[in-house]
Amino acid sequence: MNQAISFEMYKNIFDSYADRYDKNDGRVELKIIHTNAVTAIMKRICQMRKLPEHTQALALLCAQFHDIGRFEQLKQYDTFLDHMSVNHAVLSCQILQEKGILDALCEKDRQKILTAIANHNKLEIDPTVIKAAEPHDGSRPSFDALECLELCRLLRDADKCDIFRVFATDNMVDVVGVPDEEVARGTVSPAVLLAVRGHRCVDKRIRRTYLDYWISFLGYFFDLNYAESMSIAREQGYYRVPFERVSFSDPAAKEQVKEAFAIVEHYIDHFSEKERLRADSLNGNEKNNDLDDQTVVPDALRHFFREHPSIALAFSGGTDSAYLLYAASSCGCDVHAYYVSTQFQPAFELDDARQLAGQLGANMTVIPCDILDTEAVRKNPTDRCYFCKNAIFRHILDAAAKDGYQEIMDGTNASDDAGDRPGMRALRELRVFSPLRLCGITKKELRQYSKNAGLFTWDKPAYACLATRIPSGIEIEASVLARIERAEHTLTEMGFQDFRVRVFPDLSSPIASGTPEPDKAVQEPGYSNPSSARYAAKLQLTAVQLPLLMERREAVTELLKQDFSSVLLDLDARGSSV
């Protein structure tokens, strides 16, 4: 049987506690007003939702004490900014426990209140709280688990509804640390705008400008759980006030604010039960509905980007890194793509990379690199990939550090052989994250995710770098790489797909054998330039393409012999790439 709870008694406890702090400091009064307002809003939401009396009583206590730690935070650190002091929700729970304020309640009710308060300022509700209330194994959750989750959602909504008022009426120096004029001089960071476009609450850690703070307040609408909360926030209209009282000096900022408002107000206008379910899903509630984002970005990957909200990406334009860029962007991550342009990549890879980054509105930097200037790479030993990865990722690490990124990731997936491959060893030594592999996402799965997301790269064949066409131990020359790229481009235009043009020294050629002299060798029949005599080409095709080769054999041979001494066919058909 639920015990009777006297809200007035707890209200007096709060008032007595707050009286210990200097009310001549307007910031103390500000938090008292906020607490009373959140409590009033909480009462209204509970009544509108016609919640049980006991749940309403606990909800009011959550509201009354959710910010009790703010007073001590202000006293010790002279700020309300958590990132410059302490997590005020954690401090509130500590004070409630140390002072024994909730000791008269039963243990279960006390823990539910503390859980709601601890979760009220998080980006998302703790997944363990959601899992307890909505288990995946089909078991029936307890009433206490359901009530705990309800309290978490109620407090988050009531708090955000009044933050709109604080945002509109209080001094911005107290709220974000600078006056309106300073905010109005900024622009919106790409990652923040991406979060708004994706109807996501903005992660505090990706904010870079003071205007980002303002836009993140608008993003609170995407985190409201109940139609009743949305109705109250809309009725108040506070969310528009700050933007109406300033003039933005940067034309780009004006357009960004205009876009953000259009997105938010469209969301408000179309808020429905379906949208509420979607909001629940973004809070971690994995429900089966037609808006379930599990079909494009799995939870494990979302969790990775929550833990790493600002990260650089080694971007190749291939299926793996393309999907990773999409997933990071869609999760609101502050991600910057770095494409290292070397002689090992064909031109179309850079074209694809630029196209995808443009479609996603993602930041991308192209870093030129003469990879053959690294002797250990040019000599082409069996562990060439180690030296190549080292050189490429060091370029990315340097560029990313200058741009403010401390972490870097690549597109290695769970289907890639982890072993002691040279390239993998370089990634480990440089502490490069491979989230697809860490999350157990295979090549087949990420292709499906990419297809569901509408990425044009979803069925792009795997494309190893051009250096893999040259046998180990044979020194790599830029001119040979260019000829390989030209040959593969030619075959692609003729309709071939998923193939390789391997090359090897043609020991039977006049130049390779050392006689006759080069100037005489070029006069031999079938050689169209001096260097063509040094390498032969071997085609690796999938079995289904052999009929096309037979049909176009003469044209293929004629075109490729412009660059190679001879053209051979590997009778071991190439397996289709996944």
CA angle 420, 421, 424 (to 5 degrees): 90
Asked if residue 335 lies in contact with residue 311, where contact means CB atoms within 8 angstroms, the answer is yes
How much is the pLDDT for 174? 67
Q: What is the number of other CB atoms lying within 10 angstroms of the CB of residue 134? A: 16
SS3 463: coil
Give me the helix-helix angle, 251-269 and 190-197, nearest 10°.
20
Which residues touch 248 (CB under 8 Å, ≥6 apart)?
Answer: 184, 254, 257
CA atoms within 13 A of residue 262's CA, in its CB half-sphere: 8
Q: How far is CA 110 from CA 124, 127, 427, in A?
A: 21, 20, 47
Altogether, the residues listed in the chain come to a count of 578
d(CA 525, CA 533): 11
Please tell me the predicted confidence (pLDDT) of residue 576.
53
Q: Which two tokens mark 177?
A: 């640390």
pLDDT on residue 3? 62
Neighbour-count burial of 457, counting CB atoms closer than 10 A to its CB (0-12 exposed, 13-18 middle, 19+ buried): buried
User: What is the pLDDT at residue 577?
Assistant: 52
In which order are the strands placed within the sheet that holds 500-505? 500-505, 535-540, 567-569
In Å, what is the CA distance from 434 to each residue of 192, 257, 312, 430? 24, 35, 12, 12
As a whole number of angstroms, the distance between CA 120 and CA 201 comes to 13
Q: What is the pLDDT along the chain (578 residues), one digit of tens a residue?
A: 456 788 999 999 999 999 999 878 888 998 999 999 999 999 999 999 888 899 999 999 999 999 999 999 999 998 887 878 999 999 999 999 999 999 999 999 999 999 999 999 998 899 899 888 877 666 788 889 999 999 999 999 999 999 999 888 877 776 777 888 888 888 998 888 888 887 888 888 888 888 998 998 899 998 998 888 998 998 888 999 989 888 998 999 999 999 999 988 888 877 754 444 444 444 444 433 333 456 788 888 988 888 888 999 999 988 999 999 999 988 888 899 999 999 998 888 888 888 888 877 788 999 999 999 999 999 999 989 889 989 999 999 999 999 889 899 999 988 876 555 777 888 888 889 999 988 889 999 999 988 888 888 888 877 788 999 999 999 999 999 999 999 988 888 888 888 899 998 887 655 444 434 443 333 333 334 444 448 899 998 888 888 888 888 999 999 898 889 889 998 887 765 54
Question: Residue 94 is encoded by which pair of tokens?
Answer: 């500590």
Closest CA to 156 of 306, 25, 282: 282
HSE-CB of 511 using CA atoms within 13 angstroms = 20
Cα 18 from chain centre: 41
Tell me the C-alpha distance between 323 and 266, whole Å: 28
Rounded distance between C-alpha atoms, residue 366 and residue 338, angstroms:
6
Contact 575, 542 (CB under 8 A): yes
Rounded Cα distance between 33 and 31, Å, is 5
Write the CB contacts of 447 (distance below 8 Å, at least 6 apart in sequence). Answer: 319, 458, 459, 578
Torsion sign (Cα): 232, 236, 242, 243 = positive
Q: What is the DSSP letter of 177?
A: S
> C-alpha distances in angstroms, 44 versus 67, 158, 161?
19, 9, 12
Residue 359: name the closest of 435, 450, 293 by CA: 450
Q: Is 497 exposed, middle or buried (0-12, 13-18, 19+ CB in 10 A)?
A: middle
> What value, to the nearest 5°, has the Cα angle with vertex 165 and ends 159 and 168?
140
Stated pTM of the model = 0.52
Give the C-alpha separation, 451 to 460, whole Å: 11
